[in-house]
Protein backbone atom coordinates (compact mmCIF):
# COMPACT_ATOMS: atom_id res chain seq x y z
CA UNK A 1 0.00 0.00 0.00
CA UNK A 2 1.25 3.46 -0.89
CA UNK A 3 2.86 5.51 1.87
CA UNK A 4 4.97 8.59 2.33
CA UNK A 5 8.44 7.51 3.36
CA UNK A 6 9.38 9.93 6.11
CA UNK A 7 13.06 8.95 5.93
CA UNK A 8 13.49 9.99 2.34
CA UNK A 9 10.57 12.28 1.67
CA UNK A 10 9.30 10.18 -1.20
CA UNK A 11 6.07 8.49 -2.08
CA UNK A 12 6.44 4.71 -2.30
CA UNK A 13 3.99 2.82 -4.49
CA UNK A 14 3.96 -0.88 -5.28
CA UNK A 15 3.02 -2.38 -8.60
CA UNK A 16 2.48 -6.13 -8.58
CA UNK A 17 2.51 -8.15 -11.80
CA UNK A 18 0.11 -11.04 -11.42
CA UNK A 19 -1.07 -13.62 -13.94
CA UNK A 20 -1.26 -17.27 -14.91
CA UNK A 21 1.89 -19.41 -14.92
CA UNK A 22 4.30 -18.57 -17.73
CA UNK A 23 2.20 -15.61 -18.92
CA UNK A 24 5.36 -13.50 -19.14
CA UNK A 25 5.47 -11.62 -15.80
CA UNK A 26 9.18 -12.04 -15.25
CA UNK A 27 9.96 -11.32 -18.90
CA UNK A 28 7.91 -8.12 -18.63
CA UNK A 29 9.73 -6.85 -15.57
CA UNK A 30 13.14 -7.73 -17.00
CA UNK A 31 12.35 -5.93 -20.20
CA UNK A 32 11.14 -2.95 -18.16
CA UNK A 33 14.38 -2.93 -16.18
CA UNK A 34 16.36 -2.81 -19.39
CA UNK A 35 14.30 0.07 -20.63
CA UNK A 36 14.71 1.96 -17.35
CA UNK A 37 18.42 1.20 -17.16
CA UNK A 38 18.13 -0.76 -13.94
CA UNK A 39 18.22 -4.37 -12.79
CA UNK A 40 15.83 -7.00 -11.46
CA UNK A 41 16.45 -9.23 -8.47
CA UNK A 42 14.93 -12.69 -8.73
CA UNK A 43 15.74 -14.57 -5.53
CA UNK A 44 15.99 -18.36 -5.68
CA UNK A 45 14.54 -18.70 -9.14
CA UNK A 46 14.29 -22.34 -10.20
CA UNK A 47 14.67 -23.52 -13.80
CA UNK A 48 13.52 -20.16 -15.07
CA UNK A 49 10.37 -20.21 -12.91
CA UNK A 50 9.67 -17.62 -10.26
CA UNK A 51 9.65 -19.21 -6.82
CA UNK A 52 9.34 -16.13 -4.63
CA UNK A 53 9.12 -12.93 -6.66
CA UNK A 54 11.04 -10.57 -8.94
CA UNK A 55 11.88 -7.15 -7.54
CA UNK A 56 12.70 -3.93 -9.36
CA UNK A 57 12.94 -0.52 -7.79
CA UNK A 58 12.81 2.69 -9.77
CA UNK A 59 12.56 6.30 -8.71
CA UNK A 60 11.21 8.82 -11.16
CA UNK A 61 8.31 11.19 -11.64
CA UNK A 62 6.80 13.48 -9.07
CA UNK A 63 3.65 13.38 -6.95
CA UNK A 64 2.67 16.51 -5.02
CA UNK A 65 6.31 17.49 -4.86
CA UNK A 66 7.49 14.03 -3.73
CA UNK A 67 9.65 11.78 -5.87
CA UNK A 68 7.88 8.53 -6.66
CA UNK A 69 9.65 5.33 -5.70
CA UNK A 70 8.09 2.40 -7.54
CA UNK A 71 8.65 -1.04 -6.13
CA UNK A 72 7.73 -3.40 -8.93
CA UNK A 73 7.10 -7.04 -8.05
CA UNK A 74 6.01 -10.19 -9.80
CA UNK A 75 4.22 -13.09 -8.15
CA UNK A 76 5.05 -16.76 -8.73
CA UNK A 77 2.39 -18.04 -11.13
CA UNK A 78 2.51 -21.70 -10.11
CA UNK A 79 -0.64 -22.54 -8.19
CA UNK A 80 1.30 -24.48 -5.56
CA UNK A 81 2.83 -21.13 -4.57
CA UNK A 82 -0.54 -19.40 -4.26
CA UNK A 83 0.05 -18.42 -0.64
CA UNK A 84 3.05 -16.32 -1.57
CA UNK A 85 1.08 -14.80 -4.41
CA UNK A 86 -1.63 -13.56 -2.04
CA UNK A 87 0.94 -12.14 0.33
CA UNK A 88 2.43 -10.15 -2.54
CA UNK A 89 -0.93 -8.99 -3.88
CA UNK A 90 -1.64 -7.46 -0.50
CA UNK A 91 1.23 -5.03 -1.12
CA UNK A 92 -0.17 -3.73 -4.41
CA UNK A 93 -1.41 -0.27 -5.23
CA UNK A 94 -1.84 -1.39 -8.80
CA UNK A 95 -2.05 -4.97 -10.02
CA UNK A 96 -1.01 -5.54 -13.60
CA UNK A 97 -2.59 -8.79 -14.65
CA UNK A 98 -0.45 -10.35 -17.37
CA UNK A 99 -2.92 -12.09 -19.64
CA UNK A 100 -1.48 -14.79 -21.90
CA UNK A 101 -2.89 -13.96 -25.35
CA UNK A 102 -2.48 -17.48 -26.72
CA UNK A 103 -5.94 -18.82 -27.41
CA UNK A 104 -5.23 -22.18 -25.81
CA UNK A 105 -4.70 -20.41 -22.48
CA UNK A 106 -7.92 -18.42 -22.68
CA UNK A 107 -10.20 -20.23 -20.24
CA UNK A 108 -7.42 -20.53 -17.68
CA UNK A 109 -6.60 -16.84 -17.96
CA UNK A 110 -10.24 -15.76 -17.67
CA UNK A 111 -10.67 -17.92 -14.58
CA UNK A 112 -7.57 -16.33 -13.09
CA UNK A 113 -8.93 -12.81 -13.74
CA UNK A 114 -12.10 -13.79 -11.94
CA UNK A 115 -10.10 -15.18 -9.05
CA UNK A 116 -8.09 -11.97 -8.82
CA UNK A 117 -11.36 -10.05 -8.57
CA UNK A 118 -12.39 -12.24 -5.64
CA UNK A 119 -9.07 -11.74 -3.88
CA UNK A 120 -9.17 -7.97 -4.33
CA UNK A 121 -12.75 -7.77 -3.13
CA UNK A 122 -11.52 -8.86 0.30
CA UNK A 123 -9.10 -5.92 0.49
CA UNK A 124 -10.05 -2.70 2.24
CA UNK A 125 -11.07 0.29 0.13
CA UNK A 126 -9.66 2.02 -1.77
CA UNK A 127 -8.84 -1.22 -3.57
CA UNK A 128 -5.74 -1.57 -5.70
CA UNK A 129 -6.37 -0.65 -9.31
CA UNK A 130 -6.11 -3.31 -12.00
CA UNK A 131 -4.59 -3.00 -15.45
CA UNK A 132 -4.71 -5.90 -17.89
CA UNK A 133 -1.64 -6.56 -19.97
CA UNK A 134 -2.48 -8.65 -23.02
CA UNK A 135 0.92 -10.27 -23.58
CA UNK A 136 2.39 -12.50 -26.30
CA UNK A 137 0.61 -10.52 -29.01
CA UNK A 138 3.23 -11.89 -31.42
CA UNK A 139 1.89 -15.44 -31.24
CA UNK A 140 0.03 -16.60 -34.36
CA UNK A 141 -3.01 -17.63 -32.30
CA UNK A 142 -3.03 -14.43 -30.24
CA UNK A 143 -6.41 -13.23 -29.12
CA UNK A 144 -7.27 -9.76 -30.46
CA UNK A 145 -7.81 -7.07 -27.83
CA UNK A 146 -11.34 -6.29 -28.99
CA UNK A 147 -12.36 -9.92 -28.65
CA UNK A 148 -10.93 -10.12 -25.17
CA UNK A 149 -12.77 -6.99 -24.09
CA UNK A 150 -16.11 -8.65 -24.78
CA UNK A 151 -15.22 -11.50 -22.43
CA UNK A 152 -13.99 -9.39 -19.53
CA UNK A 153 -16.07 -8.04 -16.67
CA UNK A 154 -17.01 -4.35 -17.09
CA UNK A 155 -14.52 -3.15 -14.47
CA UNK A 156 -11.59 -4.81 -16.23
CA UNK A 157 -11.68 -2.87 -19.48
CA UNK A 158 -8.31 -1.19 -19.08
CA UNK A 159 -6.25 -3.38 -21.42
CA UNK A 160 -2.77 -2.73 -22.82
CA UNK A 161 -1.13 -4.89 -25.49
CA UNK A 162 2.48 -6.07 -25.20
CA UNK A 163 5.13 -8.36 -26.52
CA UNK A 164 7.36 -8.76 -23.50
CA UNK A 165 10.05 -10.66 -25.40
CA UNK A 166 10.32 -7.79 -27.86
CA UNK A 167 9.93 -5.02 -25.23
CA UNK A 168 6.89 -3.74 -27.09
CA UNK A 169 4.42 -1.75 -25.01
CA UNK A 170 6.15 -2.49 -21.72
CA UNK A 171 7.16 1.02 -20.75
CA UNK A 172 3.69 2.23 -21.56
CA UNK A 173 2.17 -0.45 -19.30
CA UNK A 174 4.48 0.64 -16.52
CA UNK A 175 3.61 4.34 -16.78
CA UNK A 176 -0.09 3.52 -16.91
CA UNK A 177 0.33 1.33 -13.83
CA UNK A 178 2.12 4.15 -12.01
CA UNK A 179 -0.72 6.50 -12.87
CA UNK A 180 -3.23 4.03 -11.43
CA UNK A 181 -1.10 3.56 -8.31
CA UNK A 182 -1.02 7.34 -7.86
CA UNK A 183 -4.80 7.42 -8.12
CA UNK A 184 -4.91 5.01 -5.21
CA UNK A 185 -2.43 7.12 -3.24
CA UNK A 186 -4.70 10.09 -3.88
CA UNK A 187 -7.77 8.17 -2.72
CA UNK A 188 -5.91 7.11 0.43
CA UNK A 189 -4.86 10.66 1.06
CA UNK A 190 -8.38 11.94 0.53
CA UNK A 191 -9.68 9.67 3.27
CA UNK A 192 -6.77 10.55 5.55
CA UNK A 193 -5.28 7.06 5.26
CA UNK A 194 -2.02 7.65 3.43
CA UNK A 195 0.52 6.45 5.99
CA UNK A 196 3.46 8.67 6.87
CA UNK A 197 6.09 6.26 8.06
CA UNK A 198 9.27 4.39 7.40
CA UNK A 199 9.29 1.59 4.84
CA UNK A 200 8.60 -1.82 6.32
CA UNK A 201 10.40 -3.39 3.37
CA UNK A 202 13.66 -1.77 2.39
CA UNK A 203 14.75 -4.23 -0.25
CA UNK A 204 14.20 -7.61 -1.85
CA UNK A 205 16.16 -9.37 0.92
CA UNK A 206 13.68 -8.16 3.50
CA UNK A 207 10.73 -9.22 1.38
CA UNK A 208 12.31 -12.62 0.89
CA UNK A 209 12.83 -13.01 4.63
CA UNK A 210 9.18 -12.18 5.35
CA UNK A 211 7.92 -14.57 2.71
CA UNK A 212 10.05 -17.30 4.24
CA UNK A 213 8.62 -16.45 7.64
CA UNK A 214 5.19 -16.70 6.04
CA UNK A 215 6.01 -20.20 4.80
CA UNK A 216 7.00 -21.24 8.29
CA UNK A 217 3.86 -19.83 9.84
CA UNK A 218 1.54 -21.25 7.20
CA UNK A 219 -1.47 -23.04 8.64
CA UNK A 220 -1.50 -20.79 11.67
CA UNK A 221 -4.43 -18.50 12.13
CA UNK A 222 -2.62 -15.22 11.51
CA UNK A 223 -0.66 -16.23 8.50
CA UNK A 224 0.09 -12.75 7.11
CA UNK A 225 3.66 -11.89 7.72
CA UNK A 226 4.75 -9.51 5.01
CA UNK A 227 4.80 -6.26 6.95
CA UNK A 228 2.62 -3.50 5.64
CA UNK A 229 3.36 0.09 6.54
CA UNK A 230 -0.34 0.77 6.65
CA UNK A 231 -0.87 -1.74 9.43
CA UNK A 232 1.25 0.05 12.03
CA UNK A 233 -0.35 3.29 10.91
CA UNK A 234 -3.88 1.93 11.19
CA UNK A 235 -3.11 0.43 14.56
CA UNK A 236 -2.27 3.86 15.88
CA UNK A 237 -5.29 5.36 14.18
CA UNK A 238 -7.49 2.75 15.80
CA UNK A 239 -6.20 3.90 19.18
CA UNK A 240 -7.24 7.37 18.18
CA UNK A 241 -10.81 6.40 17.38
CA UNK A 242 -10.97 4.33 20.53
CA UNK A 243 -10.10 7.51 22.38
CA UNK A 244 -12.95 9.17 20.61
CA UNK A 245 -15.48 6.60 21.67
CA UNK A 246 -14.44 6.45 25.33
CA UNK A 247 -14.43 10.18 25.77
CA UNK A 248 -18.19 10.07 26.09
CA UNK A 249 -19.09 8.61 29.47
CA UNK A 250 -19.32 4.86 29.84
CA UNK A 251 -22.64 3.39 28.77
CA UNK A 252 -25.03 2.72 31.59
CA UNK A 253 -25.57 -1.00 32.00
CA UNK A 254 -28.92 -2.04 30.61
CA UNK A 255 -30.95 -4.09 33.08
CA UNK A 256 -30.63 -7.84 32.58
CA UNK A 257 -28.78 -7.47 29.34
CA UNK A 258 -31.67 -5.81 27.56
CA UNK A 259 -30.72 -4.32 24.21
CA UNK A 260 -29.81 -0.66 24.16
CA UNK A 261 -32.69 1.74 23.65
CA UNK A 262 -33.52 2.34 20.01
CA UNK A 263 -31.75 5.31 18.48
CA UNK A 264 -33.90 8.40 18.38
CA UNK A 265 -34.36 11.36 16.07
CA UNK A 266 -31.41 13.77 16.31
CA UNK A 267 -32.03 16.85 18.45
CA UNK A 268 -31.66 20.32 16.99
CA UNK A 269 -28.10 21.58 17.42
CA UNK A 270 -27.53 24.37 20.00
CA UNK A 271 -28.83 27.60 18.58
CA UNK A 272 -27.50 31.13 19.01
CA UNK A 273 -31.10 32.25 19.65
CA UNK A 274 -31.32 30.67 23.12
CA UNK A 275 -32.84 32.90 25.86
CA UNK A 276 -30.87 34.71 28.54
CA UNK A 277 -29.75 32.46 31.37
CA UNK A 278 -29.39 29.44 29.10
CA UNK A 279 -25.65 29.83 28.48
CA UNK A 280 -22.70 29.56 30.81
CA UNK A 281 -20.31 31.38 31.03
CA UNK A 282 -22.66 34.18 30.00
CA UNK A 283 -20.34 36.36 27.90
CA UNK A 284 -17.68 33.98 26.59
CA UNK A 285 -20.26 31.24 26.20
CA UNK A 286 -22.38 33.49 23.98
CA UNK A 287 -19.42 34.44 21.82
CA UNK A 288 -18.45 30.80 21.44
CA UNK A 289 -22.03 29.80 20.70
CA UNK A 290 -22.18 32.48 18.04
CA UNK A 291 -19.04 31.02 16.49
CA UNK A 292 -19.78 27.30 16.46
CA UNK A 293 -23.48 27.53 15.68
CA UNK A 294 -22.48 28.93 12.27
CA UNK A 295 -20.48 25.79 11.47
CA UNK A 296 -21.88 22.70 9.77
CA UNK A 297 -23.06 20.34 12.47
CA UNK A 298 -23.06 16.54 12.40
CA UNK A 299 -24.90 14.63 15.06
CA UNK A 300 -24.15 11.13 16.27
CA UNK A 301 -25.87 9.05 18.91
CA UNK A 302 -23.94 6.68 21.17
CA UNK A 303 -25.27 3.26 22.08
CA UNK A 304 -26.24 4.57 25.54
CA UNK A 305 -28.44 7.25 23.99
CA UNK A 306 -26.01 10.14 24.52
CA UNK A 307 -25.53 12.63 21.70
CA UNK A 308 -22.30 13.92 20.27
CA UNK A 309 -22.32 16.90 17.93
CA UNK A 310 -19.39 18.02 15.83
CA UNK A 311 -19.30 21.62 14.65
CA UNK A 312 -16.96 21.84 11.70
CA UNK A 313 -13.63 20.38 12.69
CA UNK A 314 -13.14 22.65 15.68
CA UNK A 315 -15.92 22.22 18.27
CA UNK A 316 -17.52 19.21 19.95
CA UNK A 317 -20.75 19.04 21.92
CA UNK A 318 -21.74 16.29 24.36
CA UNK A 319 -25.21 15.77 25.70
CA UNK A 320 -26.37 12.96 27.94
CA UNK A 321 -29.40 10.87 27.02
CA UNK A 322 -31.29 12.02 30.11
CA UNK A 323 -30.51 15.71 29.53
CA UNK A 324 -33.58 16.37 27.43
CA UNK A 325 -36.31 18.27 29.28
CA UNK A 326 -39.92 19.07 28.56
CA UNK A 327 -39.69 22.34 30.45
CA UNK A 328 -37.15 25.10 30.24
CA UNK A 329 -37.13 25.60 34.03
CA UNK A 330 -36.26 21.99 34.75
CA UNK A 331 -33.47 22.19 32.19
CA UNK A 332 -32.24 25.40 33.77
CA UNK A 333 -32.05 23.69 37.19
CA UNK A 334 -29.72 21.07 35.70
CA UNK A 335 -27.75 23.73 33.91
CA UNK A 336 -27.11 25.51 37.21
CA UNK A 337 -26.05 22.31 38.90
CA UNK A 338 -23.66 21.51 36.11
CA UNK A 339 -22.31 25.06 36.19
CA UNK A 340 -21.39 24.69 39.87
CA UNK A 341 -19.51 21.49 39.07
CA UNK A 342 -17.81 23.04 36.07
CA UNK A 343 -16.52 25.88 38.23
CA UNK A 344 -15.00 23.39 40.66
CA UNK A 345 -13.36 21.44 37.83
CA UNK A 346 -12.27 24.64 36.07
CA UNK A 347 -8.54 23.88 36.23
CA UNK A 348 -9.07 20.76 34.13
CA UNK A 349 -11.47 22.12 31.56
CA UNK A 350 -10.90 24.19 28.51
CA UNK A 351 -11.64 27.86 29.31
CA UNK A 352 -13.86 27.76 26.24
CA UNK A 353 -16.07 24.93 27.46
CA UNK A 354 -19.62 26.18 27.68
CA UNK A 355 -22.93 24.83 28.92
CA UNK A 356 -25.97 25.52 26.82
CA UNK A 357 -29.63 24.77 27.24
CA UNK A 358 -31.10 24.90 23.76
CA UNK A 359 -34.30 23.74 22.04
CA UNK A 360 -33.98 20.09 20.98
CA UNK A 361 -37.33 19.96 19.19
CA UNK A 362 -40.33 22.27 19.10
CA UNK A 363 -41.35 21.03 22.56
CA UNK A 364 -38.18 20.00 24.39
CA UNK A 365 -34.89 21.44 25.65
CA UNK A 366 -31.50 19.79 25.74
CA UNK A 367 -28.45 20.51 27.88
CA UNK A 368 -25.12 20.55 26.05
CA UNK A 369 -21.49 20.70 27.11
CA UNK A 370 -19.67 22.23 24.16
CA UNK A 371 -15.90 22.58 24.00
CA UNK A 372 -13.19 23.17 21.45
CA UNK A 373 -12.06 19.96 19.81
CA UNK A 374 -8.89 19.03 21.70
CA UNK A 375 -7.29 15.86 20.49
CA UNK A 376 -6.57 13.56 23.42
CA UNK A 377 -2.95 12.63 24.13
CA UNK A 378 -3.70 9.25 22.65
CA UNK A 379 -4.30 10.72 19.24
CA UNK A 380 -1.52 13.27 19.58
CA UNK A 381 0.81 10.34 19.81
CA UNK A 382 -0.21 9.35 16.32
CA UNK A 383 0.67 12.60 14.63
CA UNK A 384 3.71 14.38 13.33
CA UNK A 385 5.48 11.25 12.39
CA UNK A 386 8.07 13.22 10.53
CA UNK A 387 9.65 15.03 13.46
CA UNK A 388 13.30 14.29 14.24
CA UNK A 389 13.92 12.09 17.31
CA UNK A 390 15.09 14.89 19.57
CA UNK A 391 11.95 16.90 18.88
CA UNK A 392 9.78 13.87 19.57
CA UNK A 393 11.69 13.19 22.78
CA UNK A 394 11.37 16.81 23.88
CA UNK A 395 7.65 16.77 23.32
CA UNK A 396 7.28 13.42 25.05
CA UNK A 397 9.24 14.63 28.04
CA UNK A 398 6.90 17.54 28.34
CA UNK A 399 3.79 15.47 27.88
CA UNK A 400 5.02 13.06 30.56
CA UNK A 401 5.73 15.88 32.95
CA UNK A 402 2.36 17.56 32.57
CA UNK A 403 0.61 14.25 32.70
CA UNK A 404 2.43 13.04 35.77
CA UNK A 405 1.44 16.14 37.65
CA UNK A 406 -2.14 15.41 36.68
CA UNK A 407 -1.99 11.85 38.05
CA UNK A 408 -1.73 13.23 41.57
CA UNK A 409 -4.20 16.09 41.17
CA UNK A 410 -6.94 14.67 38.97
CA UNK A 411 -10.28 15.47 40.63
CA UNK A 412 -11.88 12.06 40.28
CA UNK A 413 -15.13 13.15 41.90
CA UNK A 414 -15.65 15.91 39.36
CA UNK A 415 -14.84 14.19 36.13
CA UNK A 416 -16.59 11.12 34.84
CA UNK A 417 -13.51 9.43 33.57
CA UNK A 418 -10.28 8.64 35.27
CA UNK A 419 -7.20 10.24 33.89
CA UNK A 420 -6.01 8.39 30.80
CA UNK A 421 -4.41 9.38 27.52
CA UNK A 422 -7.84 8.88 25.98
CA UNK A 423 -9.58 11.68 27.86
CA UNK A 424 -6.82 14.18 28.43
CA UNK A 425 -5.86 16.60 25.71
CA UNK A 426 -3.31 19.37 25.63
CA UNK A 427 -4.13 22.99 25.12
CA UNK A 428 -1.02 25.13 25.13
CA UNK A 429 0.81 23.59 28.07
CA UNK A 430 -2.29 22.73 30.01
CA UNK A 431 -3.94 19.35 30.30
CA UNK A 432 -7.63 19.51 29.50
CA UNK A 433 -10.32 16.96 30.13
CA UNK A 434 -12.43 16.14 27.10
CA UNK A 435 -15.29 14.10 28.59
CA UNK A 436 -18.40 14.86 30.65
CA UNK A 437 -18.39 16.64 33.98
CA UNK A 438 -19.46 14.11 36.62
CA UNK A 439 -22.91 14.34 38.15
CA UNK A 440 -22.89 13.50 41.86
CA UNK A 441 -24.52 10.19 42.78
CA UNK A 442 -24.85 9.28 39.14
CA UNK A 443 -21.42 8.88 37.70
CA UNK A 444 -18.87 6.71 39.38
CA UNK A 445 -15.45 6.80 37.84
CA UNK A 446 -15.16 3.84 35.55
CA UNK A 447 -13.04 1.06 37.02
CA UNK A 448 -9.50 1.51 35.93
CA UNK A 449 -9.24 -1.57 33.80
CA UNK A 450 -6.31 -0.48 31.77
CA UNK A 451 -3.90 -0.07 34.66
CA UNK A 452 -2.44 3.06 36.17
CA UNK A 453 -2.71 6.19 34.09
CA UNK A 454 1.05 6.62 33.79
CA UNK A 455 1.60 3.10 32.47
CA UNK A 456 -1.01 3.70 29.81
CA UNK A 457 0.85 6.73 28.58
CA UNK A 458 4.17 4.91 28.65
CA UNK A 459 2.66 2.04 26.65
CA UNK A 460 1.33 4.47 24.10
CA UNK A 461 4.61 6.30 23.87
CA UNK A 462 6.38 3.00 23.33
CA UNK A 463 3.99 1.99 20.56
CA UNK A 464 4.41 5.40 19.00
CA UNK A 465 8.18 5.30 19.13
CA UNK A 466 8.22 1.77 17.83
CA UNK A 467 6.05 2.74 14.90
CA UNK A 468 8.64 5.38 14.13
CA UNK A 469 11.48 2.94 14.58
CA UNK A 470 12.69 4.93 17.58
CA UNK A 471 13.63 3.89 21.04
CA UNK A 472 12.59 6.20 23.87
CA UNK A 473 15.90 5.91 25.63
CA UNK A 474 17.70 6.60 22.41
CA UNK A 475 15.44 9.57 21.77
CA UNK A 476 16.15 10.90 25.25
CA UNK A 477 19.83 10.42 24.61
CA UNK A 478 19.50 12.46 21.44
CA UNK A 479 17.67 15.04 23.45
CA UNK A 480 20.45 15.18 26.00
CA UNK A 481 22.75 16.27 23.21
CA UNK A 482 20.69 19.41 23.05
CA UNK A 483 22.02 20.47 26.43
CA UNK A 484 24.76 22.42 24.77
CA UNK A 485 22.28 23.87 22.38
CA UNK A 486 22.11 27.54 21.56
CA UNK A 487 18.52 28.16 22.42
CA UNK A 488 17.40 28.22 26.01
CA UNK A 489 14.38 26.14 25.19
CA UNK A 490 16.20 23.16 23.78
CA UNK A 491 18.96 23.44 26.37
CA UNK A 492 16.35 23.04 29.08
CA UNK A 493 14.84 20.06 27.33
CA UNK A 494 18.32 18.58 27.17
CA UNK A 495 18.86 19.17 30.86
CA UNK A 496 15.68 17.36 31.68
CA UNK A 497 16.51 14.41 29.45
CA UNK A 498 19.90 14.23 31.08
CA UNK A 499 18.26 14.16 34.42
CA UNK A 500 16.02 11.28 33.37
CA UNK A 501 18.79 9.27 31.85
CA UNK A 502 21.23 9.72 34.69
CA UNK A 503 18.90 8.42 37.33
CA UNK A 504 19.52 4.67 37.33
CA UNK A 505 15.89 3.81 38.00
CA UNK A 506 14.76 5.64 34.89
CA UNK A 507 16.91 3.90 32.34
CA UNK A 508 14.12 1.48 31.44
CA UNK A 509 11.15 3.06 29.75
CA UNK A 510 8.73 1.34 32.11
CA UNK A 511 10.52 2.95 34.99
CA UNK A 512 9.80 6.41 33.76
CA UNK A 513 6.71 6.01 35.87
CA UNK A 514 6.98 8.05 38.99
CA UNK A 515 10.42 9.32 38.26
CA UNK A 516 9.78 12.54 36.46
CA UNK A 517 10.57 15.72 38.29
CA UNK A 518 7.64 17.86 39.28
CA UNK A 519 6.94 21.34 38.08
CA UNK A 520 10.22 22.57 39.56
CA UNK A 521 10.78 26.14 38.62
CA UNK A 522 12.96 26.62 35.61
CA UNK A 523 13.40 22.91 34.92
CA UNK A 524 10.55 22.66 32.46
CA UNK A 525 11.38 21.30 29.05
CA UNK A 526 9.06 23.64 27.32
CA UNK A 527 8.06 22.72 23.84
CA UNK A 528 5.20 24.53 22.29
CA UNK A 529 2.76 21.70 22.12
CA UNK A 530 0.47 23.45 19.71
CA UNK A 531 3.03 24.12 17.07
CA UNK A 532 5.92 21.93 18.14
CA UNK A 533 6.50 18.24 17.79
CA UNK A 534 2.90 17.29 18.39
Partner 1 sequence: MASEQQITETIGKIEKDLPGFIAASLVDLDSGMTLGVKAKVDSFDLTTASAFNSEMVKQKLKIMEALKLDATLEDMLLTLSDQIHLIKLINPGTFLYLAADRASSNLAIVRNAVNKHADALG
Ligand X SMILES: Nc1nc2c(ncn2[C@@H]2O[C@H](COP(=O)(O)OP(=O)(O)OP(=O)(O)O)[C@@H](O)[C@H]2O)c(=O)[nH]1
Q: By the criterion CB under 5 A, which residues form the site for Mg ion?
A: 25-26, 50
The minimum distance between CB 211 and Mg ion, in angstroms, equals 15
The minimum distance between CB 191 and partner 1, in angstroms, equals 20
Distance CA 418, CA 454 (A): 12
Contact 244, 337 (CB under 8 A): no
The minimum distance between CB 175 and partner 1, in angstroms, equals 5
Distance CA 207, CA 89 (A): 13
Q: Interacting stretch for ligand X, rule CB under 6 A, among 74-82, 268-276, 291-299, 318-326?
A: 74-82
Using CB under 8 A as the binding criterion, the count of chain residues that bind partner 1 stands at: 20
**Which residues in the 140-179 window bind partner 1 by CB under 8 A?**
167-172, 174-175, 178-179
With CB cut-offs between 5 and 8 Å by kind, which of partner 1, Mg ion, ligand X, none does residue 129 bind?
A: none
The minimum distance between CB 71 and ligand X, in angstroms, equals 17
Interface with ligand X, residue 24, by CB under 6 A: yes
**19 or 126: whose CB is closer to ligand X?**
19
Q: Interacting stretch for partner 1, rule CB under 8 A, among 60-68, 141-149, 265-273, 341-349?
A: 60-68
Q: Interacting stretch for ligand X, rule CB under 6 A, among 17-25, 35-43, 87-95, 325-333?
A: 17-25
Contact 63, 185 (CB under 8 A): yes
Distance CA 265, CA 307 (A): 11
- CA angle 444–365–331, rounded 5-degree value: 55
Contact 264, 305 (CB under 8 A): yes
Distance CA 300, CA 302 (A): 7
Using CB under 6 A as the binding criterion, the count of chain residues that bind ligand X stands at: 22
Interface with ligand X, residue 169, by CB under 6 A: no
Distance CA 212, CA 217 (A): 9
**Which residues in the 186-215 window bind ligand X by CB under 6 A?**
none
**61 or 411: whose CB is closer to partner 1?**
61
Q: Which helix (H) or strand (E) holds 184?
A: helix 170-190
**Which residues in the 96-135 window bind ligand X by CB under 6 A?**
135
**Which residues in the 446-465 window bind ligand X by CB under 6 A?**
none
Q: Which of 11, 19, 58, 389 binds ligand X (CB under 6 A)?
A: 19
Identify whether 126 is preceded by a cis peptide bond (ω within 30 of 0): yes
Q: Which of 4, 23, 335, 454 binds ligand X (CB under 6 A)?
A: 23
Contact 478, 396 (CB under 8 A): no
Contact 362, 511 (CB under 8 A): no
What secondary structure does DSSP assign to 362-420, as a single string? SS-EEEEEEEE---BHHHHTTS-TTS-HHHHHHHHHHHHHHHHHHHHH--TTTBSS-S-
Q: Which of 5, 13, 26, 182 binds ligand X (CB under 6 A)?
A: 26
Distance CA 422, CA 416 (A): 13
**50 or 109: whose CB is closer to Mg ion?**
50
Binding site residues, partner 1, CB under 8 A:
35, 59-63, 65, 67-68, 167-172, 174-175, 178-179, 182
Binding site residues, ligand X, CB under 6 A:
19, 21-27, 48-50, 74, 76-78, 135-136, 138-139, 163-165
Amino acid sequence: MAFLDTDRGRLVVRIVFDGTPLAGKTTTVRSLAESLGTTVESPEEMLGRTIFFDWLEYTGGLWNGHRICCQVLTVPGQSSLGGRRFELLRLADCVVFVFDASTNQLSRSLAAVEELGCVLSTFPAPKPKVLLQLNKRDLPDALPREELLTMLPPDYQDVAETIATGSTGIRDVFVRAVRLALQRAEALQAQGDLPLCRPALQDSAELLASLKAYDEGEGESSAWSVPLEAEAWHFLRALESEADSVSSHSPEPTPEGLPNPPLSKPPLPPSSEVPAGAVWPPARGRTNLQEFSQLPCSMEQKANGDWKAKFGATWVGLSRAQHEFDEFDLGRKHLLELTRLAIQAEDWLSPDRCLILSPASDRTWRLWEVMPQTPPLQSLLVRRLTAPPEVIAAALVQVFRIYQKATTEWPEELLVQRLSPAVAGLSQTKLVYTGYIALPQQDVSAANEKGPAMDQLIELAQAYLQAQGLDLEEALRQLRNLEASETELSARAGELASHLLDRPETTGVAKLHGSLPGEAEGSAATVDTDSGAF
